[in-house]
Amino acid sequence: MSNLDDPRVLFAAERTLMAWSRTAAGLMALGFVIDRATLLLGDADGRSGFAFWIALAFILLGVVLSVLSIVQYRRSVAALRPIEIPPGYWVNLSAYANAAIGVLGVLLAAYLALG
């Protein structure tokens, strides 16, 4: 991927992953807010309404984005040479955090769909 022999390449990939993580969490939060706003406004359709499906779509889009960003990050890290990764650095920590956000998004989608 690079010939810089510089760990900043790894850190740039990690910052990009965390930016996608924030975007995914934001989409999930937007979906939850849409669902709760329809309940607050007294939507007569309840769970079968169009707003519910839009909310669920936002949450699932966040989950998919979380998974795809992990795949993209792992591909970037795999292309790095060992000299570009600082010794003892936890390369997968941000990927694990992003995976946790994806799992929480799945749980949120299940909560809204079943609740």
Question: In the structure encoding, which two tokens stand for residue 8, read together?
Answer: 């900043």
Specify burial of residue 46 (Cβ count, 10 A radius: 0-12, 13-18, 19+): exposed
Q: With pLDDT > 90 as the criterion, what percentage of the chain qualifies?
A: 64
Query: What's the pLDDT band for 39 if we cut at 50, 70, 90?
Result: confident
The residue-averaged pLDDT of 22-47 equals 85
Give the tens place of pLDDT for each residue, 41-97. 776 555 668 888 999 999 999 999 999 999 999 999 999 888 888 899 999 999 999
Distance from C-alpha of 74 to C-alpha of 90, rounded to nearest angstrom:
13
pLDDT value for 60: 97
Average pLDDT, the chain: 90
Question: Which residue from 16, 9, 10 is spatially nearest to 70, judged by alpha carbons?
Answer: 16
pLDDT value for 47: 63
pLDDT value for 83: 87
The residue-averaged pLDDT of 5-33 equals 93
Instruction: Write the single-letter amino acid at 20.
Output: W
- pLDDT over 70 (residue 20): yes
Of 47 and 19, the one with more pLDDT: 19
